[in-house]
Amino acid sequence: MKVTVEVDCTPLEARQFLGLPDVTGLNEKLMEEMQARTTANLSMLTPDELVKNWTAFGVGAQEQFMKLMTRAADMGASTSRAK
């Protein structure tokens, strides 16, 4: 035997019927906070800020990164030759 029940109600009505708390205020606060943080972080994505952040580590970090990439490429080449 198979029984199908279809309930036509809004999410608010369903929460009230099931006795769940109304989280509308909490949701609005959370969305405001997320929007404020997103807006603040968007200023970090301007080209000027990106260049400042990338060059803040100096030449030493760039050299270390190049060494890391070279080693990774060498390891990839050596494993492909071993096959």
Report d(CA 49, CA 56) in Å as an integer: 10
* pLDDT higher at 57 or 67: 67
pTM of this prediction? 0.43
* pLDDT higher at 60 or 26: 26
Q: For 30-52, what is the mean pLDDT?
A: 84
Report d(CA 54, CA 80) in Å as an integer: 32
Q: For 45-52, what is the mean pLDDT?
A: 76
Report helix, strand or coil for 64.
Answer: helix
Domain residues of the chain, as ranges?
Answer: 11-82
Whose CA is closest to 9, among 20, 1, 27? 20
Report d(CA 44, CA 37) in Å as an integer: 11
